[in-house]
Structure 1
């Protein structure tokens, strides 16, 4: 008997998983996406960067799946004739105080097998790569790339449909119940019975997990990242990507410059708490989402630990001058007028525990025949094909033909 497999979530990870299952002929695959298009949230609202594995702890799922995923994604884009441009990334230490953290980035990068990595010392060496950058040292990753993740998701979806899979748009899952070895899923008034269900629900992952009685922890804390566009007349200030040395206390990379796959340059993102799970601006407020975050046991420990950084990030969001100062540290020639209107913001689904700690690695739970991807922030888009293989091999216990 053919297995019936349901997948919740039409972002790049859910569609990559559907493709892996459908093409392997493992079962009848059905994807549920609550929006009326794919890649509507995290997948379609990010910087488009294909990460090479610089930041992640050696041996972590992020490290292993990012490296494998980058190679697989590159091959997929070549096969489908999708844009894939190796723009290269420069992680810059602006002054000597950042050199120890830069050395740790270099160590992790080499441990993770980042291809072509080079350490650059001195302003002159940095300007060979990025002529307008300021700094004392950097790590250069020439194979860090940029793509169009929404276009990749659509191409993956074409493969799903070609292999006989079904993708249902505008179908929000509102109920899910395990009954013996099957799972009853209710979406938009219709009922479906599956032998297995895998949830890749991103910003809604803890909500979906609660439908089957999973532990409320980790909970999703939405962080909004806001971008500014660089004026078209000034895009020559950036050749590829210019990144800061990240603060190891915080799971975000800081404001940076990225030349996108279509030639535009954007600056950002920052990281501010969103007032709704899908809150792409300050006016998007959900009293329910905000109250759930405030009453979570980890709220006070998190605020106590990171309040200074929170105030700084929120201030830079509200006051353009402060955002500009963050960016100008790396390109002294930058003028505030070079930052044009804000572009579309993204919201990161950041998982956090009851003690207030922010989860760093990918996390998966299993409740009988239901598999729950509980934490899949960046580099999940880069790693999507490798995450799909990992879920199939490690959690679904199926043999591929």
Structure 2
């Protein structure tokens, strides 16, 4: 009787359960309290930090972005001098980080897929070479690999004079301890049409790929999308180049005194960082690719062979599409690791975001809270954007269940 009376007391005359005994209402109350607690903790931390900085006489705020930087940067994708602002230096470091991240992801993916396929090769030497590559590179710390490429490989290359370059003579390619020197393309009037032609070719390639996919789903007939797109990317810019009167010229490097001038140079710090990141991440990607292919049932390839499909088409049209749903999720993690590992560039002197903004700017301004917070926010944003893109790509290549 007592139990029945307590249950009855929790229910009003209309038959509804009181809010205190409603799981949804309690959950909502707890969530609101948690949000209030988090906001209070953040507010308390910020106000305490501001008070402590003011008490110590340390400047705070973001006004330093407009001040003169006063230092040079060895590699910059945008115009920069020591008279530029700290904001300009920030963008230089951000672009350098994004460039090494994008190029590193590109080469790590290609090398990783090749090594992953080599791990499954029936050729004894190829399979063992791939195994040694994976087991060796993924078990050596990345920082040591970066130092190896920079100190033990690139730094001991001969100087421009030791290579045998004649002073004043133009060179097409030269690899020395100052970097890799190549011709630089100098655009002239009308060269923008070549860029437009390239963009049109890329867009046309995308539309042809979509059309070919719909055509194959409807008729089963294949279309050479890759070679067609490659032809468009080569032919259209070439036609624009010829029609506009060849508005491009090459500027070659030459030895002047002890230094190389003109041309285009890839500095040793960038090459060491790119080699270390790409080769190290490729070792993990190779294992992901191998596991993804092994996850596909062997009966799939046997069925394809029974239908008369050639082995190379079987791998490209049957095995790899099914393996991608296993490969992409862990592949995303490796891309994120590569982008975050690029912060180790400070160890070999490459001017990335951490080196420029989290190093030089921090030391000169003394505003650690603002500088470190912005640096962390940038890496968080890059990681979230990469994850969002890979999630979209994963959904676009996912197999449709019937």
Task: Specify which structure has the bigger relative contact order, considering alpha-carbon pairs within 8 angstroms and separated by 6 or more residues.
Answer: 1
Bigger fraction of residues in helix: 2
Q: Same fold (TM over 0.5)?
A: no
Normalising to structure 2: TM-score of the pair? 0.23
Q: Larger radius of gyration, structure 1 or 2? A: 2
Normalising to structure 1: TM-score of the pair? 0.23
